[in-house]
A and B are shown apart, each in its own frame.
Chain A
């Protein structure tokens, strides 16, 4: 009781302090310093209509590389924490017939939609991370509907590493051509797609990198799900 009251008082004090600090920020006022530069130059410099993905992949590409690394470390960490030699699903009952048929029917549509999100990252809201998460959802659905289902590990883990490696290789090609890491060589040097801004084949390497990120995030989250639903076999290690 005393603990809870103390916690509430502490949270109230923190909230008051934060509200005081936020009261000094003029909301609604125009305070774009860097943002204006992005908005004005994003189409010429990157070819992307979606300014967010242009900032995330092009202007601030290193942050995205860091995020991908964080996800990779998370997936590897989960796998290392839960590693056992003999592991199997321990679900007691199969999903119902409706659930199984429904997930079987919906699977290609969800995959298609995930691919749509990450391929159109430079045109529509979304990008690699939401697209990858959508694809992982499709596999999660299979895991929930079927007791026997297991992803093909021989395809998934190499694909994950390969996608991440290709991202770094794209950046390194930029280093070789343009002089700095993650330089958009397709747009700046080759000038591919300069006359169709706003269409699918534009925006330099943003669609390529987002396809790689989508594959990577999709396989990674699926791998995390796969590790979490399996438990060590009885009598095993």
Chain B
């Protein structure tokens, strides 16, 4: 009985976060902000829905077998979603998709430029030594 209520609450919680994440996809100005909203809230929403279903099943179906499975799926999702988001955003940045015109600092660009400068300097010194 209690588990049913907790499960229902978790599923509702998750679907609200799903809705917010899809809303963020429409509302946000550039790729990076969209990824920000989409990945974070969708991950949290999925965790809520998946574990909620597992807990719901204890009361509703009367079976404990769902909970470990949903738990494994949730942990897997929790581990993989940030990595995929990271890879997507990195690939987007590397392929030159611009930031929103309102953004102020781009530390990664500064870092990359500094790295390039270092490499050029080291190459020059090497050539000078030869």
Residues of A in contact with B (beta carbons under 8 Å apart):
93, 95-96, 98-99, 102-103, 105-106, 109
Contacts and interface: CB of A to CB of B under 8 A. Distances in A.
B58 to A, nearest CB: 21
A75 B75 CA distance: 34
B23 to A, nearest CB: 27
A75 to B, nearest CB: 27
A98 B76 contact: no
Contacts of B83: 98-99, 102-103, 106
Contacts of A98: 83, 86-87
A9 to B, nearest CB: 35
B79 to A, nearest CB: 7
A106 B87 CA distance: 15
B114 interface: no
A99 B86 contact: yes
Nearest to A109: B76
B117 to A, nearest CB: 19
Contacts, number: 20
A96 B86 contact: yes
A125 to B, nearest CB: 13
Contacts of A99: 83, 86-87
B50 to A, nearest CB: 16
A105 B79 contact: yes
Indicate the member of B83, B86, B94 with the most A CB atoms within 10 Å: B83
Q: Chain B interface secondary structure, helix, strand, loop or mixed?
A: helix
A124 to B, nearest CB: 10
Contacts of B87: 95-96, 98-99
B90 interface: yes
20 contacts: A93-B94, A95-B87, A96-B86, A96-B87, A96-B90, A98-B83, A98-B86, A98-B87, A99-B83, A99-B86, A99-B87, A102-B79, A102-B80, A102-B83, A103-B83, A105-B79, A106-B79, A106-B80, A106-B83, A109-B76
Contacts of A109: 76
Contacts of A103: 83
Q: Which of B76, B79, B87 has the most A CB atoms < 10 Å from its CB?
A: B87
A132 B87 CA distance: 25
Contacts of A105: 79
Nearest to A101: B83
A203 B92 CA distance: 49
A129 B94 CA distance: 36
The interface centre, meaning the residue of A93, A105, A109 with most chain B CB atoms within 10 A of its CB, is A109
Contacts of A102: 79-80, 83
Nearest to B75: A109
A146 B87 CA distance: 13
B81 to A, nearest CB: 11
A94 to B, nearest CB: 12
Contacts of B79: 102, 105-106
B40 to A, nearest CB: 16
A109 B77 CA distance: 12
A109 B79 CA distance: 11
A99 B84 CA distance: 8
A141 to B, nearest CB: 10
